[in-house]
Amino acid sequence: MEVKFVHPKRAYQARQQELDAAWRSVNSRGAYILQADGEEFESRLAHLVGKKHAIGVNSGTDALYLSLWALGIKQGDEVITSAHTFVASAQVIAQLGATPVLVDCHDDLLMHEEDVRYAITDKTKAIIPIHLTGDVSRLSDDLLYDLKEKKIHSVEDACQALGAKGLGYGITQCWSFYPFKILGSHGDAGAITTDDDALAAELRELRNHYKKDYSKWGINSRLDNIQAAILNVKIKYIQDTLFKREQVALKYREGFKDVEGLKLPEFTHGRVWQDFIIRTSRRDELYQFLKESGIETMKNDYPMPIPKLENAIKIESETLRIPCNEWLKQPEVEYVIEVIKSFYEKA
Ligand SMILES: *Cc1c(COP(=O)(O)O)cnc(C)c1O
C-alpha cells in the first residue's frame, strides 16, 4: 500500500462541482481583485474565529509582516518568538529591520512563559506566539497583563491552528491558506483577524498601496478573489475537516498506546490537527523504514533551528510528521499504525 502525506487531488475531486462552479462564477463576472467573494470570505472567517474584522492578504507570511508593520515595529526593536517554527515567523521581523529574539521550545514544541519573560528587554515591542501543529501556545493572564503594561503587542502566528479554541488573545491573529493548511486554497492566500477597528482600517490600506492619502508606502498584498471564492466553498466544511482530522489523531493515539520509545503529541483541550508529530530517538531509521513501506512522512519544514538552542535542536532531530488529514482512508491509517508497530517489534 502507498500512503501519501497530502491529498490535493482527493480534496479537489471530492468537491469538484462546487469548486468548478465557484471558479466559473468569478470568471463570468470578471471579478478578480477586491470583489464580493473576498468580502464574503472575510466575514465568514471573522465569524469563525470570533473576531470583529478579517483582512484578506496574499499569504500567512504577509499577514505576519503587515501586522508587525501596522504596529510600528522598526529597526532597533526586538520581537520575541519561538526557535521552533517555520522560518517565516522570524523572517518577517528581520524584514522590518527589527531583531528576532528566538527562545527555546519545550517538549510540547511550544515556547513557554518563563522563557518569554526572561527574553523581555526595554527594546521588546512584540511577541509572536506560534500555535504550532494546531496546539495553542497559551499565555497566562498574568503575562498578558504584564505585556500590556509594557506596551508589548502579541501577534499570534495562527497559520497552523484554524478552528482551535483558546487563541485570540493577541492584537492580531495571522492565518495562512496555503494549500496544505487546515483550510487550503488553490494557491497562496492568508488573512489577519483583529477586534481593533483602527488597526483593521490601517491594515486594509497597507495591503493595497495606502491609496487613501499616500501618506505612507503600502504594498500589494491583496487576497486574490479567485482564491477567496475557493475558500468560501471550503470553509463551509471546516467543522467536518476538523472532526475528521481529530478522528485520525485519535486512531493514532489508540494504535500507538503500547509502543515504547514513541512519544505522541499532546492532546490538549481545544487543539486542532494541522500535523501529527511523533518523536523518537530513532527518527531517521523510522523515516527510512516507512519510506520503504510506501508511507510518505516529513522530517520537518524547519531543517534547522535558527539559533542553536538546545531543545530546538534535539526536537528537530527526533520528530517526524506522519500523514494526518481528512482525506486519508481508514485502511491507510491502519496501515501506518501497523507498519510503525512492526518497526518497534522487529528491533
Ligand atoms: C504556513 C506557515 C506560515 C506562512 O504561511 P504562508 O501562507 O505559507 O506564507 C507562517 N507560520 C507558520 C507557523 C506556518 O505554518
Segment 277-326, tens digit of pLDDT: 999 999 999 999 999 999 999 997 665 556 668 888 888 899 999 999 99
Q: In the prediction, which pLDDT does 307 show? A: 65
Whole-number pLDDT of residue 303: 55
Q: Which contacts qualify for 40-43: CB closer than 8 Å, 24 or more apart?
A: 40/228, 40/232, 41/191, 41/223, 41/228, 41/229, 41/231, 41/232, 41/235, 42/191, 42/223
Residue 97 has a pLDDT of 97
d(CA 186, CA 36) in angstroms, rounded, equals 18
Cα of 243 vs centre of ligand 1, distance in Å, is 22
- pLDDT digit string, tens, across residues 234-283: 999 999 999 999 999 999 999 999 999 999 999 999 999 999 999 999 99
The answer to whether the CB of 134 is under 6 A from ligand 1 is no
Residue 190 Cα: closest atom of ligand 1: 7
Q: Minimal CA–CA distance to 272: which of 56, 48, 66, 105?
A: 48
Residue 58 CA: which ligand 1 atom is closest?
7
Q: Per-residue pLDDT tens for 141-161? A: 999 999 999 999 999 999 999
Determine the distance separating the centroid of ligand 1 and the alpha carbon of 62, expressed in angstroms: 9
Which atom of ligand 1 sits closest to the CA of residue 178? 7
Tens digits of residue pLDDT in 32-79: 999 999 999 999 999 999 999 999 999 999 999 999 999 999 999 999
Q: Tell me, what's the pLDDT at 84?
A: 85
Please report the pLDDT score of residue 304 as a whole number: 57
pLDDT at 313: 86
pLDDT at position 301:
65
Q: What is the pLDDT of residue 346?
A: 80
Please work out whether the CB of residue 176 comes within 6 Å of at least one atom of ligand 1.
yes
Buried b / exposed e across 231-263, counting CB within 10 Å, b at 16+?
bbbbbebbeebbebbbebbebbeebbeebeebe
> Bigger pLDDT: 135 or 89?
135
The Å distance, Cα 257 to ligand 1 centre, comes to: 31
Question: Is residue 101 lining ligand 1, measured as CB closer than 6 Å?
Answer: no
**60 Cβ closer than 6 Å to some ligand 1 atom:** yes
Please state, for a pLDDT cut of 90, what percent of the chain lies above it. Answer: 91
pLDDT attached to residue 316? 87
Q: Beta-carbon neighbour count of residue 99 at 10 Å?
A: 16
Atom of ligand 1 nearest to the CA of 274: 15
- 29 Cα–ligand 1 center, Å: 31
Tens-place pLDDT, residues 170-209? 999 999 999 999 999 999 999 999 999 999 999 999 999 9
The predicted pLDDT at position 31 comes to: 95
- pLDDT confidence bin for 17, thresholds 50/70/90: very high
> Taking a C-beta distance cutoff of 8 angstroms, is the pair 92, 47 a contact?
no
